[in-house]
């Protein structure tokens, strides 16, 4: 059975928090011997946390965990309880500066989804993605 762990990094609504999350995620995966997942995991975390910071006013959180089945979950919680917009088809977005986030998540993760959630006493949502750690 794979080693299991669970980390949560609470962040302010600040664009610099995206870099903090990305670097923290890289360290977590390296320390757990999962360097092969780093590039894809960083992309997923960047898109999810960027959306949380860009589209909400409150705090957010990055959660990274490994399940007993060897799946690495990467997710972001934010204070907006509304469902995220459906992912864009990447070919249709083209060179646009925005609108690709969940399309990239959908293309790179084995699975992704969202669910209502609460942290800090506020309602919000948790948008998650899965990577197989093999």
Task: State the 10-residue block means of pLDDT for the chain, 134 residues long.
Answer: 92 95 97 96 95 90 96 94 73 55 86 83 88 84
Residue 132, CB half-sphere, CA atoms under 13 Å: how many?
3
pLDDT in the model for residue 22: 96
Which uninterrupted H or E stretch holds 66? strand 60-66
- What CA–CA distance (Å, rounded) separates 27 from 5? 14
Q: What is the pLDDT of residues 50-81, one digit of tens each?
A: 999 998 888 999 999 999 999 999 999 999 98
pLDDT in the model for residue 95: 57
pTM of the model: 0.86
Nearest to 103 by CA among 119, 115, 92, 116: 92
Query: Which residues are CB-neighbours of 105 under 8 A, at least 6 positions away?
Result: 44, 47, 48, 87, 112, 127, 129
């Amino acid at each position: 059975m794979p080693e299991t762990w669970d980390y949560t990094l609470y962040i302010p609504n600040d664009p610099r928090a995206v870099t903090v999350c990305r670097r923290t995620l890289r360290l977590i995966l390296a320390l757990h011997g999962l360097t092969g997942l780093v590039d894809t995991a960083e992309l997923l975390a960047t898109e999810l946390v960027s959306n949380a910071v860009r589209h909400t006013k409150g705090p957010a959180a990055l959660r990274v965990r490994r399940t007993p089945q060897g799946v690495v979950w990467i997710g972001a919680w934010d204070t907006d309880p509304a469902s995220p917009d459906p992912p864009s088809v990447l070919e249709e977005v083209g060179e646009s500066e925005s609108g690709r986030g969940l399309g990239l998540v959908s293309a790179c993760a084995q699975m992704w989804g969202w669910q209502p959630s609460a942290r800090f006493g506020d309602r919000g949502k948790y948008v998650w993605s899965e990577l197989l750690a093999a």
